[in-house]
């Protein structure tokens, strides 16, 4: 089912509160919504309520809320349900951003609905709302393989990943903006294909082409 652009009123980023978790893989949702807030930059007011940090403002003529639950990941749904009840929002008004083990780092996946995929924060939201019918943006963090998943998601990024992190969260925030501006289908067509490594290869090839064309112009 297509979600009309005007339906999204609440964007939730999932993560754990506290400095010790701030730059861990499990906080990719927090990081993406933080980046989105910087991009919107239209006088959003912040306040703490419903066990959450909430940012309220207007975007393209309509009210928009951004929420960072402070309940710790496994109880995120309690905070989301409380805010949605007060604001009289339905699941189709919601977009949730979170980390995903089954997607490689540097990749994104937008979906209209579906199961939690084993993600505890999503399990909590689905349970509290009694619905899976809301948009979600999964931001890939990769899988540790045979290593412990719990330790992996609560650990910091590898050095190679840290070098890419700003670009990844930037593109994830752009994917959310695209849903707001153009609707889910258009955003999926663009951002579900996005691949950090492939984009870097394209940029490097363009740089080489530009330098070669500049050198040829000088010699002509």
Q: Give residue-wise pLDDT tens across range 14-55.
A: 999 999 999 999 999 999 999 999 999 778 999 999 999 999
CATH 3.20.20.70 for the 5-192 domain, yes or no: no
From 3, 26, 119, 143, active-site residue:
26
Give the model's pLDDT for residue 1.
42
Helix or strand (DSSP H, E) at 121: helix 120-129
Displacement of CA 22 from its chain's centroid (Å): 15
Q: Report which DSSP code applies to 157.
A: P
Of 161, 167, 175, nearest in space to 199 by CA = 167
Give the tokens for residue 37.
């807030």
Q: Regarding beta strands 10-13 and 94-100, do their DSSP bridges make them parallel or antiparallel, or are they unpaired? A: parallel
Note if the pTM is more than 0.85. Answer: yes
Tokens of 16: 């754990």
Residue 26 designated active-site: yes
CA dist., res. 181 & res. 71, Å (int): 30
Q: What is the DSSP string of 158-216?
A: PHHHHHHHHHHHHHHHHHHHHHHHH-HHHHHHHHTT-BHHHHHHHHHHHHHHHHHHHHH
Asked if residues 56 and 63 have their Cβ atoms less than 8 Å apart, the reply is: yes
* Residue 176: both structure tokens together: 């959310």
pLDDT at 147: 76
Provide the pLDDT for residue 85. Answer: 98
Report the C-alpha gap between 164 and 2 in whole angstroms.
Answer: 31
Nearest of 174, 203, 169 to residue 186 by alpha carbon? 174
Which residue shows structure tokens 């363009």? 206
pLDDT of 111 reads 97
Q: What pLDDT does 172 receive?
A: 98
Give the Cα separation of 156 and 143 in Å (integer).
14
Strand boundaries in the chain, DSSP class E: 10-13, 45-49, 52-59, 62-69, 94-100, 108-111, 135-140
Mean pLDDT by 10 residues, the chain (220 residues): 65 97 97 96 91 95 96 97 98 98 97 96 98 97 90 95 96 97 96 92 69 66
Angstrom distance (rounded) from CA 47 to CA 8: 20
């Amino acid at each position: 089912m297509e979600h009309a652009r005007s339906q999204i009123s609440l964007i939730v980023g999932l993560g754990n509160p506290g400095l010790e978790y701030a730059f861990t893989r499990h906080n990719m949702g927090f990081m993406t919504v933080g980046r989105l807030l910087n991009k919107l930059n239209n006088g959003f007011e912040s306040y703490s309520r419903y066990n959450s940090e909430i940012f309220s403002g207007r975007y393209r003529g309509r009210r928009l809320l951004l929420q960072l639950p402070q309940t710790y990941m496994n109880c995120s749904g309690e905070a989301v349900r409380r805010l949605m009840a007060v604001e009289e929002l339905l699941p189709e008004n919601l977009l949730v951003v979170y980390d995903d083990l089954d997607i490689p780092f540097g990749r994104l996946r937008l979906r209209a609905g579906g199961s939690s995929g084993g993600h505890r924060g999503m399990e909590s939201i689905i349970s509290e709302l009694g619905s899976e019918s809301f948009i979600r943006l999964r931001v890939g963090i990769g899988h540790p393989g045979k290593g412990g998943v719990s330790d992996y998601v609560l650990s910091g990024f590898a050095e190679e990943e840290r070098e890419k992190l700003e670009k990844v969260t930037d593109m994830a925030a752009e994917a959310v903006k695209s849903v707001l501006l153009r609707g889910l289908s258009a955003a999926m067509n663009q951002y579900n294909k996005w691949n950090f490594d492939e984009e870097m290869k394209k940029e490097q090839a363009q740089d080489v082409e530009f330098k070669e064309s500049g050198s040829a112009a000088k010699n002509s």
